[in-house]
Chain A
Amino acid sequence: MKRFVSVLIILSMSLALITGCGSSEKETASEGNYEVDMEKASETTLGLAPFKERQKLRIGFFTGSPLSYPFLFADKLGYFDELNIDIEYVPFTNGPAMMEANNDWDIGGVGLGGLTNAMKGYDLRIIDITDYEENLALFVRPDHPLAEDPKDPENWKGTEWIYPAGTTAQAVLVNALEEVGLDMSDIESINMDVANALTGFQGGTGDGLGVWNVIAFEAEDTGFVRIGDAGTLGFTAPCGTVVSEKTLEAKRPLIETAIAVFHLTTEWIYESDENMEQAVAWFLEDGENEGIRINQSIAERVMEWYRGPTTGEFIEIFTNEAPDEAGIYTKRDLIQAERDILVGVDFFISQGNYTEEDREKFLDDGLIDPSVAIGVKEMLDELQIEY
């Protein structure tokens, strides 16, 4: 009897343990009052209508990558405050961790690897393209033969590369190999996160290094030679903003306003050298606060390389339609955002990371969602804001 009771207790505890795993539901997906005061639109800097009630938006913030920063700049410029919005930043330094914690933010900004992870693992919707990242770079030491001639396949064969596996850094490496008629089987790969990869490479490990953003410029400043990057290799690496369907339904007006602010602020960055200098200063300040190894020169280069779409470009990216360039998906034409993201998804599929079924599901389920862009367009048209 005693043993039977013990077994029962253990089984009950097991059930509690298992069910505990499934209790992760969005806590903030409740409808709020998102009424705006159209009459006060002319009083705000961007010409957007402020909310009547104070709103709060939690942003999954990718620290050290410019893809998230226009939100921060808009906040510093007081744009969100004028619109009666409080921003709460939830900082992360990698996409998978941000996706795992998707209960803790309303919208989150990540790179291409994170976007695919978000669709596959969490059914999140991509509602914005925030950057076309070009600074995904490959480095070798100055005395390595690849530094002198990266076009010679013999210099690549048997080399050992350190990079974060399953990310766009790998995609850039594969592109570089394909350029000289090689593939991944011709080299050795070691998976490391970007910060540790640079430390390991500095310590003498490996022949090549694949890193991005701040770390790429740090590698450059250390004296390593950049032999290729996403920009020069023609690899499209869109970054974007994701949201759950539930949160989008519950907070659509707030999210559409925030996305509009993001792109109008991106335009503000490009508007003048002074604005760019201010953006660099804020990027540097935030990097230092977050403990990132950064300096003025690196901050300047990060912002110079930033390729965030303007408001008009954003709306075009999510509304221009054309057939699937790969010719695989024939059920409907695809929007440009889908075609851009599929370039990366197709790469991941070619590496065995995802499947053709995943690709089809992303498109069938409309996980690259133009509704926010359309909503922003309608809002700007109504307020007669040029874009």
Chain B
Amino acid sequence: MSVSDPNHLNESEYVESVRRERKRSQYQSAILSVIGILGFLILWQLSLVTGLVNSRFLSSPIEVVSLFITKLTDPRPDGAVIGANIVSSLIVALSGFGLAIVIGIPLGLLMGWYKGIDSFLRPIFEIIRPIPPVSWIPLTIVWVGIGLQAKAMIVFFAAFVPCLINSYTGIRQTREVLINVAKTFGASDFTTFLKVGIPYSMTMTFAGVKVAIGNAWATLVAAEMLAASSGLGYMILMGRQFGRVDLVILGIAVIGLIGTLITIIINAVENKILGWRKL
């Protein structure tokens, strides 16, 4: 029975066939993704085994996995086991990221809804927006020292901008007809903002949150360059210090994997909260 011949199906059969087709497509995508990753890893390994790439410049995936297992219990050479490095980096990245969400999203929503706030804050934001997060490092040291606050602040600067822009754009795109309906039913401006504007902006806002977490992770190494005694960025720096390319690649791989995991979690939260928007 084919989905392309829906006239011969009753409603429940049609829904079931669409679901089956969707599952089949998801399954195919998953298989292709796995083949892509495995293919990449096999090519990577082969390029080293065949001598195409000098092992001095690139460690093999097997060596990186082996080092990961070793680093579960062995703090050498950077002085911390991989678990401690991950926790340390998560604290830095999530502190800055959390702060960006708490400040960036409400600010973006308010700027997008209230013209006065927009006119007041937008010029300042436009000046701050293009400044690269790492350029804040010298001032950050002077302002807040070199502790967690300082590192979280660098991450915050990286994650704040997409949170604000997307929530701002999202709420500005609220359909006029929905606002008019709310007003017709006597809703105040604030109620309309709360019950129409914010829900409408959520798709864009979540997209911003996903970009923000990517930025937060990307800035992690720079933040841990500022000052650290553990963390994935610190581990990469120490790998560089001691000429250990395997340690550098392990740090990069773990940052990538954790970033992917966080994105998956955010997607799941988005599906849970915005499931009603899906067809």
Interface residues of A (CB under 8 A from B): 3, 7, 10-11, 14-15, 18-19, 21-22, 24, 96, 99-100, 113, 116-118, 120-123, 162, 165-167, 188-193, 196, 199-200, 203-206, 348, 351-354
Closest chain-B Cβ to A99's Cβ sits at a distance in Å of 7
Given A3-B32, A14-B44, A122-B56, 7 more pairs with CB closer than 8 A: A18-B47, A22-B52, A162-B146, A162-B227, A199-B138, A205-B147, A353-B77
Q: Show 22 residue pairs from A and B whose CB-CB distance is below 8 angstroms, ordered by the A residue.
A: A7-B36, A10-B36, A11-B40, A14-B39, A18-B47, A18-B53, A19-B53, A116-B242, A121-B244, A122-B56, A123-B56, A166-B241, A167-B241, A188-B229, A191-B228, A192-B226, A200-B141, A200-B145, A203-B142, A206-B146, A352-B79, A354-B77
B48 to chain A, nearest CB (A): 8
Most buried by B among A120, A121, A123, A167: A121
CB distance from A18 to the nearest CB of B (A): 5
- Complex-state Cα separation, A244 to B11, whole angstroms: 74
- Write out, one digit per residue, whether chain B residues 227-256 have a CB within 8 A of any chain A CB (1) or not (0): 111000010011011111100000000000
Provide the residues of chain B in CB contact with A116, threshold 8 Å: 242-243
B257 close to chain A: CB less than 8 A: no
Contacts of B226 in A (CB 8 A): 192, 196
Residue in B57, B142, B228 whose CB lies within 8 Å of A21: B57
Say whether B54 faces chain A, with CB atoms less than 8 Å apart: yes
Contact A204 B145 (CB under 8 A): yes
B15 CB within 8 Å of chain A: no
* A348 CA / B32 CA spacing, docked (Å): 46
Whole-angstrom distance between the alpha carbons of A206 and B227 in the complex? 11
On whether the beta carbons of B141 and A15 are closer than 8 Å, the reply is no
Mask for B42-58, Cβ within 8 A of A = 1, else 0? 01100100001110111
Closest to B47 in A: A18
Residue of B nearest to A21 (CB): B58
Q: Contact between A22 and B36 (Cβ–Cβ < 8 Å)? A: no
B-chain residues with CB within 8 Å of residue A348 when the two chains form the complex: 242
Give the residue of A14, A117, A205 whose beta carbon is less than 8 angstroms from that of B40: A14
Contact B52–A122 (Cβ < 8 Å): no
How many whole Å from B63's CB to the nearest CB in chain A?
Answer: 14
- Which residues from 51 to 83 on chain B have a C-beta closer than 8 Å to any C-beta of chain A? 52-54, 56-58, 75-79
Chain A nearest CB: distance from B144 CB in Å?
9
- Please state if B229 and A15 are interface contacts (CB–CB under 8 Å): no
- Could you say which of A18, A162, A193 has the most chain B C-beta atoms within 10 Å of its C-beta? A18
Count of interface residues, chain B, beta-carbon cutoff 8 Å: 41
* A11: chain B residues within 8 A (beta carbon): 36, 39-40, 43
Residues of A within 8 A of B77 (CB): 166, 351-354
- Asked if A352 and B145 sit within 8 Å, CB to CB, the answer is no
Residue of A whose beta carbon sits closest to that of B77 = A353
Counting CB contacts under 8 A, is B187 at the interface? no
B44 proximity list for chain A (CB < 8 A) = 14, 18
| A200 contacts across to B, CB distance below 8 A | 141, 145-146, 227
CB distance from B167 to the nearest CB of A (A): 34
Question: Is B181 among interface residues, defined by CB-CB distance under 8 A?
Answer: no
How far is it, in angstroms, between the C-alpha of A191 and the C-alpha of B79 when the chains are bound?
Answer: 11
Instruction: Give the Cβ gap from A349 to chain B, nearest Cβ, in Å.
Output: 10
Chain B residues with CB under 8 Å of A166's CB are: 77-78, 238, 241-242
B145, B227, B229, B244: residue with the most chain A Cβ atoms closer than 10 Å: B227
Q: How many angstroms from the CA of A348 to the CA of B28 in the assembled complex?
A: 51
> Is the Cβ of A352 less than 8 Å from the Cβ of B76?
yes
Chain B residues with CB under 8 A of A19: 47, 52-53
Question: Does the CB pair A22–B47 fall under 8 Å?
Answer: yes
Residue from the list A18, A123, A352 in contact with B58, Cβ < 8 A: A18
Distance in angstroms from A179 CB to nearest chain B CB is 22
Chain A residues with Cβ below 8 Å from B240 are 96, 100
State A352–B244 Cα separation when bound (angstroms): 13
Q: How far is the CB of A121 from chain B (nearest CB, A)?
A: 2
Contact B75 A352 (CB under 8 A): yes
Contacts A18-B53, A190-B229, A192-B227 given; indicate if A353 touches B242 (C-beta within 8 A): yes
Q: Which of A18, A22, A167, A190 contacts B227 (CB 8 A)?
A: A190
B265 proximal to A (CB < 8 A)? no
Neighbouring A residues of B32 by C-beta, 8 Å: 3, 7
A122-B55 Cα distance, complex, nearest whole Å = 11
Which residues of A are found within 8 Å of B227, using beta-carbon distances?
Answer: 162, 190-192, 196, 200, 205
User: Is B35 among interface residues, defined by CB-CB distance under 8 A?
Assistant: yes
Chain A residue numbers with a CB within 8 Å of B53 are 18-19, 21-22
- Chain B minimum-CB-distance residue to A184: B79
Bound state CA distance, A95 and B151, in angstroms? 25
B50 → chain A closest CB, angstroms: 10
Q: For the complex formed, measure the closest distance between the CB of A112 and the CB atoms of chain B, giving whole angstroms.
A: 12
* B39 / chain A contacts, CB cutoff of 8 Å: 7, 10-11, 14
Rounded to whole Å, the gap between the CB of B132 and the closest CB of chain A is 17
B141 A118 Cβ-Cβ under 8 A: no
Nearest neighbor of B44 in chain A, beta-carbon distance:
A18
Q: When chains A and B are docked, how far (Å) is the Cα of A73 from the Cα of B230?
A: 41
Q: Which residue of A lies closest to B53 (CB)?
A: A22
